[in-house]
Structure 1
Amino acid sequence: MLLAIREKVQGWIAWAIVGVLIVPFALWGIDQYATGDRIVVVAEVNDERISATEFMQVYNTQRVRLRQQFGDMYDQVVDDEVLREQVLDSLITSSLIRQWAVNNRVVISDAQLAAVIQGADVFYEDGVFSQRLYQDLLARNGFTPATFERDQRNFLLETQFQNLLASSTPVFPFEKQALLDLQTQTRHVDYVRVDHRVFNKEAEITDEQIAQYYAANEDDYLQLERVSLAYVTLSLAEIAKDIEVTDRQVADFFELNQRLFAVPEQRRASHILLTDRGDETLAKLAELQQRLAEGEDFAELAQTYSEDPGSARQGGDLDFFEAGMMVEAFDQAVFDLAVGDVSEPVQTEFGFHIIKLTDIKPMQLPSLDEIRDEVVQQVRLEQAERVYFELLEQMTQIAFEQPDSLDPIVEQLNLPVATTRMVTRDGGREQVTSRRTVMEAAFSDDVLQQRLNSVPIEVGPNQTVVVRIAEHQPARLQALEEVRADIERQLVREYSISRSAERAASLLAQIQDGVAVETLIGEGIEWHPVGWIERENQQILPQITAAAFSAAKPTSAQPTWNSVQLVTGDTVLVRVNELGRSEQADNAALRNQLALILQETYQTAEVEALMASLRLTAKIDKKSNYLTLR
Structure 2
Amino acid sequence: MLQFIREKFQGWIASIIVAGVCIPFILWGVKSYLYGQSNEALVATVNGDKITQHDFLFFYNQYKQQQRINQPISGMALNTTALKEAALQSMISDATLIQNATHDGFVVAPELTDATLAKIPIFQINGVFSSIRFEELLSRMLYTPETFFQQLNDKILINQVRSGFVDTTFVLPNEINRSIALVNQSRSFDYLIIPKNRFLSNVIVSNQAVQDYYTQHSDAFKTTEKVSIDYLRLSLNDLVQSIHPTLSQLKDFYQSNIAAYTIPRQWQIQYINLPLPTQETQKQLDAENQLINTITQQIKSGTDFIKLIQQYSDDKSTAVDVKQLAWINAGQVTDVIRDALMKMKIGDISVPIRTSQGYQILKVINVKPEKILSFDQVKDKITQAYCQQKAEQLFANLNDKLANLTYETPNSLTPTATALNLKIQTTNLFTRQGGDDAFTKDPRILQAAFSDDVIIQHNNSAPINLDENTVVVLRLHQYEPAQIKPFDQVKADIAKQLQDQAAKAQAESVGQKILAVLKTGVPPKVAASSFLLSWQSKQNVKSKDKTLFPEILMAAFQMQRPNKVPTQRGISLASGDYVLIRLTQVQITLPTMMDRLKQQAFSESMSDGYGNLDYSFYTQGLFKKAKVKRYLSLDSTQTGSVNDDT
Give TM class, smaller chain.
0.5 to 0.7
Greater mean alpha carbon deviation, residues 87-96 or residues 99-108: 87-96
**1:569 and 2:576 equivalent?**
yes
Residue pair 2:39, 2:53 contacting (<8 A) in 1 also? no
1:207 alignment counterpart: 211
Q: Is the 8 A contact 1:228 1:469 kept in 2?
A: yes
Tell me the TM-score normalised to structure 2 length: 0.52
In the alignment, what sits opposite 1:134?
A: 134
1:63 and 1:128 map into 2 onto residues whose CA distance is: 30
Tell me if 1:227 matches 2:228.
yes
Q: How does 1:62-81 map to 2 (within 5 A)?
A: 62-71=63-72, 80=80
* Superposed counterparts of 1:496-575, under 5 Å: 496-498=503-505, 500-518=507-525, 519-521=527-529, 527-555=535-563, 557-575=564-582
SS of residue paired to 1:531 = strand
Cα-to-partner distance string for 1:193-248 (whole Å, 9 max, x where unaligned): 2334555526663534432222xx46x725122339999xxxxxxxxxxxxxxxxx
| Alpha-carbon distance between aligned partners in 1 of 2:79 and 2:482, rounded to the nearest angstrom | 27
The residue number in structure 1 matching 2:51 is 50
**What amino acid does structure 1 have at the position aligned with 2:573?**
L
CA change 1:516–1:126 in 2 (3 A) is: closer
Paired position in structure 2 for 1:328: none
> Does the Cα contact within 8 Å between 1:228 and 1:470 map onto a contact in 2?
yes
User: Is the CA contact 2:118–2:128 (under 8 Å) kept in the aligned structure 1?
Assistant: no
Matching residue of 2:157: 157
Is 2:581 aligned against 1:579?
Answer: no
Over 3 Å counting, the alpha-carbon distance change for 1:64 and 1:123 in structure 2 is: closer
The answer (yes or no) to whether the contact 1:123–1:129 under 8 Å persists in 2 is: yes
The residue that corresponds to 2:182 in the other structure is 182
1:313 is aligned to none
Determine the C-alpha separation between the residues in 2 that align with 1:121 and 1:26: 20
- Paired residue for 2:481? 475
- The letter for the 2-side match of 1:472 is Q
CA contact (8 A) 1:28 1:117 kept: no
Contact 1:26 1:118 (C-alpha < 8 Å) held by counterparts = no
- Do the aligned partners of 2:101 and 2:158 also contact (CA within 8 Å) in 1? no
1:533–1:59 CA distance, 2 compared to 1 (3 A): farther
Call closer, same or farther: CA 1:230–1:144 in 2, change over 3 Å: closer
Return the letter of the residue paired with 2:587.
G
* Corresponding letter in the other structure for 2:170: P
CA contact (8 A) 1:46 1:620 kept: yes
Tell me, yes or no, if structure 1 residue 87 matches structure 2 residue 87: yes
Residue aligned with 1:476, SS = coil
Shift of 1:426: 4.2
Q: What's the CA shift for 1:429?
A: 4.5
Q: 2:211 is matched by which residue type in structure 1?
A: D
The answer for unaligned runs of 5 or more in structure 1 is 1-24, 232-385, 409-417, 459-463
Deviations 1:474-518 (A, max 9, x none): 332334637743555555555554554454344323322323332
Listed one character per residue, the Cα deviations across residues 399-422 of structure 1 (whole Å, up to 9, x for unaligned) are x9xx969xx9xxxxxxxxx99864
The CA deviation at 1:174 is 1.2
Radius of gyration: which is bigger? 2
Contact kept, 8 Å, 1:27 with 1:117, in 2: the verdict is no
Question: Is the Cα–Cα contact under 8 Å of residues 171 and 607 in structure 2 kept in the other structure?
Answer: yes
Secondary structure of 2:50's aligned partner: strand
Post-superposition offset of 1:150: 1.9
Give the structure 1 partner of residue 147 of structure 2: 147
Q: Which residue number in structure 2 is paired with residue 595 of structure 1?
A: 603
- The amino acid of 1:476's aligned partner reads A
Answer whether contact 1:107 1:157 (CA < 8 A) is retained. Answer: yes
CA contact (8 A) 2:39 2:54 kept: no
In structure 2, the CA distance between the partners of 1:617 and 1:472, relative to structure 1 (3 Å rule), is same
- Is the partner of 1:102 in helix, strand or coil? helix
CA gap 1:581/1:434 in 2 versus in 1, 3 angstroms: same
Which secondary structure does the structure 2 equivalent of 1:610 belong to?
A: helix
Partner residue in 2 for 1:192: 192
1:168 aligns with 2:168: yes
Report the counterpart of residue 423 of structure 1 in structure 2. Answer: 430
Return the alpha-carbon distance in structure 2 between the equivalents of residues 105 and 444 of structure 1.
52
- Are the counterparts in 2 of residues 196 and 524 from structure 1 also a CA contact under 8 Å? no
RMSD: 5.6
Q: How far is the alpha carbon of 1:159 from its aligned partner? A: 0.9
Cα distance, 1:90 vs structure 2: 2.9
SS in 2 for 1:29: helix
Matches within 5 A, 1:152-551: 152-198=152-198, 201=203, 205=209, 207-214=211-218, 217=219, 221=222, 223-227=224-228, 422-424=429-431, 426-429=433-436, 472-479=478-485, 481=487, 484-485=490-491, 486=493, 489-490=496-497, 493-494=500-501, 496-498=503-505, 500-518=507-525, 519-521=527-529, 527-551=535-559
Structure 1 residue matching 2:535: 3-state secondary structure: strand
* CA spacing shift, 1:535–1:492, aligned 2, 3 Å: same
Specify the SS of the correspondent of 1:477: coil
Letter in 2 for 1:515: V
Whether the 8 Å contact between 1:222 and 1:477 is mirrored in structure 2 is yes
1:451–1:54 Cα change, 3 Å: closer
The residue matched to 1:626 in structure 2 has which SS?
Answer: coil
Q: Does 1:103 align with 2:111?
A: no
Deviation for aligned residue 1:535: 1.5
Q: Match for 1:603: what amino acid? A: G
Per-residue CA deviation, residues 559-581 of structure 1 (Å, 9 max, x unaligned), is 22344332223332222222236
1:596 Cα deviation (Å)? 2.6
In 1, the alpha carbon distance for the partners of 2:186 and 2:437 equals 46
Q: Distance in 2 between matches of 1:475 and 1:499?
A: 39
Q: Gaps (5+ residues) in structure 2?
A: 11-35, 233-383, 403-412, 419-424, 639-646
Count the aligned residue pairs.
432
Distance in 2, Cα, partners of 1:192 & 1:524 = 11
The residue identity in structure 1 corresponding to 2:187 is R
| Conservation of the 8 A alpha-carbon contact between 1:26 and 1:116 | no
SS at match of 1:615: helix
TM-aligned CA deviation for residue 450 of structure 1: 8.4
TM-score by length of 1: 0.54
Q: Distance in 2 between matches of 1:27 and 1:176?
A: 51
> Which residue is 2:406 aligned to?
none
Counterpart residue identity of residue 49, structure 1: K
Cα distance in 1, alignment partners of residues 499 and 569 from structure 2: 26
Where does residue 295 of structure 1 map in the other structure?
none
Distance of 1:65 and 1:501 partners within structure 2: 54
- Cα shift readout 1:450-486 (whole Å, capped 9, x = no counterpart): 899x99x99xxxxx9x999997333323346377435
Structure 1 pair 55–598 and aligned structure 2 pair: CA distance change class (3 A): farther
Residues 26, 504 of structure 1: CA spacing in aligned structure 2 closer, same or farther, 3 A cutoff?
farther
Is contact 2:227–2:430 with CA below 8 Å preserved after alignment? yes
Identity %: 21
Aligned partners of 2:532, 2:53: CA distance in 1, in Å? 63
* Contact 2:528–2:535 under 8 Å retained in 1: no
Partner amino acid for 2:539? G
Assess if the C-alpha contact under 8 Å between 1:203 and 1:496 holds in 2: no
Distance 1:438 1:538, change over 3 A: same
Change (3 A) 1:114 1:612: same
Q: Once the two structures are superposed, what CA deviation does each residue of 1:300-348 show, in whole Å capped at 9, x if it has no partner? A: xxxxxxxxxxxxxxxxxxxxxxxxxxxxxxxxxxxxxxxxxxxxxxxxx
SS of corresponding position for 2:575? coil
State the one-letter code of the partner of 2:162. Q
Write the letter of the residue equivalent to 1:608.
S
Q: Is 1:226–1:423's contact at 8 Å kept on the other side of the alignment?
A: yes
AA matched with 1:572: V
